[in-house]
Amino acid sequence: MSLKSFLRLNAHLQMLPILESGEETLVGGQAVMEGVMMRAPHSYCVAVRKPDGEIVTEQSPLPRVSEKYPIFKLPIFRGVGTLGHAMWLGVRALRFSVNVGLEEINKTMAEKGEKPVELSPWMMGMNLAFSLLFFLFMYKFLPLLLATKIGDAIPAVHSRLAVNLMDGVIRMFLFLAFLLVVSRMKDMRRVWEYHGAEHKVVFNFESGKPVTVENAQKFVTFHPRCGTSFLIVLMLLAIPIYAFLPFDSFVLKFLARIALLPLIVGVSYELIRFASKHQQGLLATLVTPGLWLQRITTKPPADEQAAVAIHALEHAMDLEKSQGGELVIA
């Protein structure tokens, strides 16, 4: 894998929490390279359009993590379980889409007598490890380091509270800056369009109207259960939690930020879950920043892209029905 391909794949991995649904739903999905993954309560399907127009799929039953491990039915824990399961499935769907995209490259290489390329599990594992280290550096280590340096240089903001608050502001700035940089990538814009297609089709399904390209295109691309809203809530919630950590040591502050991440994920999930069920009131405003940010992370899709999302949804629902289970949310 070339350095350029490695960095592009890691950009996609960093975007996984944004591209995924923020909670367990009747149907939800995720954009991948030239396609969409759709999931029902107990099944999923990834549909990818090849350069020749053919749509290829990968589908499989998908037990809920809360059904396999009852602890993930409990508040706070269910958020951690849902996000972990969504990330695992997202990586699996992304790998499938990458390998579909490599097929055309492999044909050319085969004609030249060269060995075909495939994104193997160990290569994906290496990319995941790098992505995790990048996340910890970009959103845990670097903001804290910059805030600490500013606090040391400016006595007026040297207090523990001031440094921790600056850390949160810097983290948000770095996230938005990284998002804008990634959005300039040509293939990422295609992913944003498929992300918009996924949202339109989910809206279409939830409306009760027949799921068609024509009906789906009538809906907006901004969905309150998008992972973008989840991630924004997570970052906002981290600011007051980190602000009152009783540590002055840089190392202890850094380790505490890592240790508290599962708790913040769990609480953020509960807030988003509550806000999505109560569309009025103060907590409902939690999803508003995420909806604003979806002006970057979603783009209006072409009819062909909406058709791919519908293809994925239909196959996921067919597999769900074939298993004989009730089509309900636990």
Q: What does the pLDDT look like over 90-122, one tens digit per residue?
A: 888 988 998 888 887 777 766 666 776 677 777
Q: What does the pLDDT look like over 290-302, one tens digit per residue?
A: 778 888 889 999 9
> What is the rounded CA–CA span in Å between residue 42 and residue 44?
7
Tokens for 105, please give them: 């490259």
Say whether pLDDT at 148 is over 90: yes
Q: Is 59 helix (H, G, I), strand (E, B) or coil?
A: strand
Residue 21 lies in a domain: yes
CA distance readout (Å), 256 to 89, 165, 261: 28, 15, 9
Residue 132 lies in a domain: no
Residue 36 lies in a domain: yes
pTM reported for the whole predicted model: 0.86
Domain count, the chain: 1
Residue 329 lies in a domain: no
Residue 144 lies in a domain: yes
CB count, 10 Å around CB of 124? 17
CA angle (135, 139, 141) in 5-degree steps? 95
Q: What does the pLDDT look like over 167-212, one tens digit per residue?
A: 999 999 999 998 888 888 888 889 999 999 999 999 999 898 999 9
Say whether pLDDT at 13 is over 70: no
Residue 329's pLDDT band (cuts 50, 70, 90): very low
Instruction: Report whether 55 contacts 49 (CB < 8 A).
Output: yes
Average per-residue pLDDT for the chain = 84
Residue 330 lies in a domain: no
Residue 328 lies in a domain: no
Instruction: Report whether 148 contacts 163 (CB < 8 A).
Output: yes
Residue 295 lies in a domain: yes
Per mean pLDDT, which of 5-9, 61-65, 135-139 is the most reliable?
135-139
Domain range holding 177?
3-125+139-322
Q: What does the pLDDT read at residue 314?
A: 93
Residues 241-269 have a mean pLDDT of 92
> What is the rounded CA–CA span in Å between residue 236 and residue 177?
16
